[in-house]
Structure 1
Amino acid sequence: MPDTAGQARPVVLMFAGQGAQHPRMAAGLHGHDATFTAWMDEAFRLLGPDGARLRRQWLAPGPTPGYDDVTVAQPLLYAVGHALGRMLLEQGVRPTALFGHSVGELVAATLAGVLTFADGMRLMRERMTLFADTPPGGMLAVAASVDEVADLLGPAVHLAAVNASRQLLLAGERAPLDDAARILTDRGLVCRDVLARQAFHSPVVEDAVRASLPAWRGVPLAPPRLPLYSAYTRGPLTPDQARDPEFWARQPAETVHFAPTLTTVLDEHPGCLLVEAGPGNNLSALARRRRAVAQERCAVVPLLPDRCRGDEADVRSVEEARSLLSEPAVAAGAVAGPHPSRTAETGRKP
């Protein structure tokens, strides 16, 4: 471990995407932390007629039918990740960088000031409608290299994400994806279905992507106020990219290059503390395999337990993470953003 005595350790926030969701994710913080509570209440208000339904599904003791559908998983992941991020910022954490996986990148962009939370929730409501109508499909996690699956890739089965050198996600309509799973299993490769009902990050959702573009063009987009890394460009997002509605609209159909993006983040923020601000520990597990973390040059801390373990476990996990964040690095221009009870976007306390 490098000698960092007297120095503030840089903090990098990362946010998970589809597949990390589970009932009651971070629910133990609702009513315990004022900032988290206010932003979650605001999220359900902004969801309009869907808000009460999604709140019930979030707080249910087990997964309700359709929990892994875009109409449930994506708005809840966006809301929970954003509320956790706001909680950290309100507590004084000033991240030197943010990045995310899939919908987690939208969380990071919102916290970095590219778009407002109200606009993000409006776009999420439209995503719920447009992507629910895409052909039935799914995603498949495969313990293999890109070369080992290359012969199966094409119009029917797409490389959805590169999470590690031998950890991939494939996506496609249900029948060809199941065929691919059988072939890969016969080769001795480990496969498992991801908790998703749509074939995100594949051409299957192209029609929905095109239909979403007008809404993205109607949203004010700004350069990030914090260093924002993209798993689609594999590096820092430029002001022009951040203001490009087509860049954001196309993300659900493009491959997520999480592994090379994580490499860039670790290289450009030596000695950093990676904080996974979302449900599950999947991104933390990926980061712990990296040499910089294994050799203790960098460290990783998940904000929440690996799965639902009860409300007290949520609170305890956050308190443990907070002890490691007592002296976070302060990034120039880092802004926590308005509390929902004080923002002109809402006009009232949620």
Structure 2
Amino acid sequence: AGLIKTVLSLHKGEIPPNLNFKKLNPHIQLEGTTFVLPMQVQPWPKRERRLAGVSAFGFGGTNVHMIVEEAPEVKKIINDIERPQHLLTLSARSETALLALAKRYQTQFSQTQDLPSVADICYTANTGRAHFPHRLAIGAGSTLQLRERLATFSAGKANAGMQSGSISSQTEHKLAFLFTGQGSQYIGMARQLYETQPTFRHTLDKCNEILRAYLEQPLLSVIYPEAGSPLNETMYTQPALFALEYALAEMWRSWGIEPDMVLGHSIGEYVAACIAGAFSLEDGLKLIAARGRLMQELPERGSMLVAFAEPTRLASILEAHQGQVAVAVINGPNNTVLSGNHAALQSIVQQLEAEGIETHSMTVSHAFHSPLMEPMLESFGQIAQEIQFHPLQIPLVCNLNGQVLSVGETMDASYWRQQTRGTVQFAVGMQTLAQAGCDVFFEIGPSATLLNMGKRVNNSGTWLASLRQEQNDWQVLLNSAATLYIQGVDLNWPGFDRDYQRRHLALPSYPFERQSYWFDTTDKAEVAEETVPEATEESSTSQKTQVGRQRHPFLDTYIALVHPAHTHVWESALEKQRLPYLNDHRIQGAIALPISAYVEMAQAATTEAFGKGKHVLKEIELKKLLLLPEKGSQQVQVILSSDSNEQVSFHIYSHVAGSAPNQDWTLHATGKIQHI
């Protein structure tokens, strides 16, 4: 309390009056000193810095003096950038409590005309509350829209802008990043994100600066042109997709979403490898820019098509066109991409149509992953030799064979040379991810191309996009973030808002359901029958007045002894079912009776034997632990006895219930009792 009071005093810049002070001790002279006793609130002028001391002299031996300095001034983020959409997350321990919490939020925003910022509402709720199993996520562009959607949820209705669900304590997900390949690009991709998300913008700007050494036109002028753009020329397409996907991945990672595995489709594998730590961003951009430039310079461009058949069914037809056409990509069942010489492909199309196999021509700049790439391989291999490769930090599924490169393994220049010409084994790669336990597939790219293909290979799990063409960037992003949250993948909420100016608000508190969780002991009926004799001065140990009080549960039965005199014995059966609150008090797996139980037994026995009064237990010694069996009970005796000097002592023994009467009893605790 003293510390809190001092911190508030520092914060307010005021010194409060001394509580309950009336008259100064005459032996204390303050005249001539710098000490002043504040009798009323005094301003605390700020000079260099405010300092205060807090002393604590505790009953338990605490002797501490703490010097507290005022907190530094919070530097306001000077940033006019704001995102157009926000995400509110609410959670509770039960579905009923979640509904009550949503209603509290709705009520608070309905009772005021001066609505707070939706950004501050979401920031406060997301960062300032614990996240429980029953969850709700609502996307909104304004406080009014948020209020309407809260009302919709409270009424039990659905809305496209919100998601709800529950998770179990065992919920664990394995997340795979899927990096999109060529063909997914479009002018203006992620423009809204670039204008409103500083981390994404900073990363894309960084890529733009690095690529100035390799591109004739600045990357940003290609992606976000004022007039025409060469974006579909492969020398620009490849670095543009790399930069955009790398910036998306870094943004998600700044929000706390880290991949457990990565896979990229064709040029997407370059970004996947960079994120996995195979090479630096600078080397990755150098490599992808060289790849695009060398392909752009190839004399024959060729074409590509999708044949809706398995590669084995196409093998005999392709055999007649060896060196001209090859299988470029195996995307999934009955989805094989052929690439190569244009005339040869036209001939193949005619043969396939004759066999009833459908085809679809692709709009591409070059025949990627085909024999037409071979003239550039030597030059590209030499550039790849200049790259510094590092051990992987995240498992990567390779395009060439669909298998996993594990953490610690290192890629090399020859792999990237082969990858340029070889077949992309996307279908096998997706199967590998599923076999590795991945159940959340997150496409990192300008569209949802890989999600559609991946579902044909493995339709289980959760499939999320970062962006979709013709859709609002933030709506797609926040919808995916909401799905992650509802499924138990917690975001780094401070990181989610780190780039924006935010302030904390006073929001509704948790709606506790007022349920009782006290242990219901099972021995109430057993001990309620026996009454406790009240000790009087005239009564002896064996003759006591019955007053009908319930005996202490640790003292089931009183055993009256004729001899020796001045000895009292109580016997009880202690078992796990009677003492459920001890279930967590275990030593090496066994339930152990705590020292407080021995003290409780001795106190109860003393009160019953000698009546209510002041008694002191002293010289308590623990001889051996009393362990309760998982099944059955332990017979316990509490013995009070007096010696010739009228010194009363207690002894607590036990043995296994039901054993022979003459079995040895184990002594657990002893002590002395002093009457005051």
TM-score, with structure 2 as normaliser? 0.45
Structure 1 residues 172-193: Cα deviation after superposition (integer angstroms, max 9, x where no partner)? 0222223323333343333223
Which residue of structure 1 aligns with residue 465 of structure 2?
Answer: 302
Structure 1 residues 50-107: Cα deviation after superposition (integer angstroms, max 9, x where no partner)? 374432331248984x543311211111111111111111110121111111011111
Letter in 2 for 1:285: N
Q: Could you tell me how far apart the structure 2 residues matched to 1:75 and 1:235 are?
A: 26
Q: Could you tell me how far apart the structure 1 residues matched to 2:418 and 2:458 are?
A: 32
- Could you say which structure has the larger radius of gyration? 2
Letter in 1 for 2:480: A
1:91 and 2:255 correspond: yes
Letter in 1 for 2:465: P
Give the aligned CA root-mean-square deviation in angstroms.
2.4
Structure 1 residues 280-307: Cα deviation after superposition (integer angstroms, max 9, x where no partner)? 22210122234551xxxx11111111x2
Structure 1 residues 130-161: Cα deviation after superposition (integer angstroms, max 9, x where no partner)? 11122211221221111332123221110001
Letter in 2 for 1:281: A
Letter in 1 for 2:234: V
Cα distance, 1:160–1:31 mapped onto 2, change above 3 Å:
same
Which residue of structure 2 aligns with residue 215 of structure 1?
Answer: 383
**Greater share of strand residues, 1 or 2?**
2
1:204 to 372, 385, 392: 372
Contact kept in structure 2, 1:54 and 1:76, CA below 8 Å: yes
Structure 1 residues 313-332: Cα deviation after superposition (integer angstroms, max 9, x where no partner)? 111101111112334389xx
Contact kept in structure 2, 1:94 and 1:329, CA below 8 Å: no
**Greater share of helix residues, 1 or 2?**
1
Cα distance, 1:234–1:291 mapped onto 2, change above 3 Å:
closer
Kindly report which structure 2 residues correspond to 1:120-139, keeping only aligned pairs within 5 A, or say none: 120-134=284-298, 135-139=300-304
Kindly report which structure 2 residues correspond to 1:308-323, keeping only aligned pairs within 5 A, or say none: 309=470, 313-323=472-482
Structure 1 residues 192-218: Cα deviation after superposition (integer angstroms, max 9, x where no partner)? 232321111112111212211121111
Cα distance, 1:165–1:128 mapped onto 2, change above 3 Å:
same
Q: Could you tell me how far apart the structure 1 residues matched to 2:466 and 2:237 are?
A: 19
Which residue of structure 2 aligns with residue 262 of structure 1?
Answer: 430
1:12 and 2:171 correspond: no
Q: Secondary structure at the match of 1:289?
A: helix
Which residue of structure 2 aligns with residue 279 of structure 1?
Answer: 446
Which residue of structure 2 aligns with residue 159 of structure 1?
Answer: 327
Q: Could you tell me how far apart the structure 2 residues matched to 1:221 and 1:149 are?
A: 37
Q: Could you tell me how far apart the structure 2 residues matched to 1:228 and 1:291 are?
A: 18
Kindly report which structure 2 residues correspond to 1:175-254, keeping only aligned pairs within 5 A, or say none: 175-238=343-406, 242-254=410-422
Q: Could you tell me how far apart the structure 2 residues matched to 1:220 and 1:182 are?
A: 46
1:328 to 465, 489, 492: 489
Which residue of structure 2 aligns with residue 143 of structure 1?
Answer: 308
Contact kept in structure 2, 1:96 and 1:329, CA below 8 Å: no
Which residue of structure 2 aligns with residue 104 of structure 1?
Answer: 268
Q: Could you tell me how far apart the structure 1 residues matched to 2:212 and 2:426 are?
A: 33
Contact kept in structure 2, 1:266 and 1:292, CA below 8 Å: no
Structure 1 residues 222-265: Cα deviation after superposition (integer angstroms, max 9, x where no partner)? 11101111121211115686332111222110000000110010
Tell me: higher relative CO, structure 1 or 2? Use CA pairs within 8 A at least 6 residues apart. Answer: 1
Which residue of structure 2 aligns with residue 114 of structure 1?
Answer: 278
Q: Could you tell me how far apart the structure 1 residues matched to 2:276 and 2:396 are?
A: 7
Q: Could you tell me how far apart the structure 1 residues matched to 2:192 and 2:210 are?
A: 22
Task: Identify the range of structure 1 (5-14 vs 250-259) with the bigger mean alpha-carbon deviation.
Answer: 5-14
Task: Identify the range of structure 1 (278-287 vs 143-152) with the bigger mean alpha-carbon deviation.
Answer: 143-152
Q: Could you tell me how far apart the structure 2 residues matched to 1:268 and 1:224 are?
A: 17
Cα distance, 1:91–1:27 mapped onto 2, change above 3 Å:
same
Q: Could you tell me how far apart the structure 1 residues matched to 2:223 and 2:282 are?
A: 20
Q: Could you tell me how far apart the structure 1 residues matched to 2:310 and 2:228 are?
A: 32
Task: Identify the range of structure 1 (12-21 vs 251-260) with the bigger mean alpha-carbon deviation.
Answer: 12-21
* Equivalent residues, number: 319
Gap runs ≥5 in structure 1:
331-335, 337-350
Gap runs ≥5 in structure 2:
1-165, 496-676
TM-score, with structure 1 as normaliser? 0.84
Letter in 2 for 1:25: M
Q: Could you tell me how far apart the structure 2 residues matched to 1:280 and 1:247 are?
A: 27
Task: Identify the range of structure 1 (168-177 vs 106-115) with the bigger mean alpha-carbon deviation.
Answer: 168-177
Letter in 2 for 1:190: E
Kindly report which structure 2 residues correspond to 1:35-54, keeping only aligned pairs within 5 A, or say none: 35-48=199-212, 50=215, 52-54=217-219
Letter in 2 for 1:23: I
Cα distance, 1:53–1:182 mapped onto 2, change above 3 Å:
farther
Letter in 1 for 2:273: A
Cα distance, 1:147–1:290 mapped onto 2, change above 3 Å:
closer
Q: Could you tell me how far apart the structure 2 residues matched to 1:113 and 1:240 are?
A: 10
Q: Could you tell me how far apart the structure 1 residues matched to 2:227 and 2:361 are?
A: 19
Letter in 2 for 1:129: R
Q: Secondary structure at the match of 1:161?
A: strand
1:23 and 2:187 correspond: yes
Contact kept in structure 1, 2:392 and 2:409, CA below 8 Å: no
Q: Secondary structure at the match of 1:139?
A: strand
Cα distance, 1:47–1:283 mapped onto 2, change above 3 Å:
same
Contact kept in structure 2, 1:24 and 1:59, CA below 8 Å: yes
Q: Secondary structure at the match of 1:31?
A: helix
Cα distance, 1:233–1:323 mapped onto 2, change above 3 Å:
same
Contact kept in structure 2, 1:22 and 1:63, CA below 8 Å: no
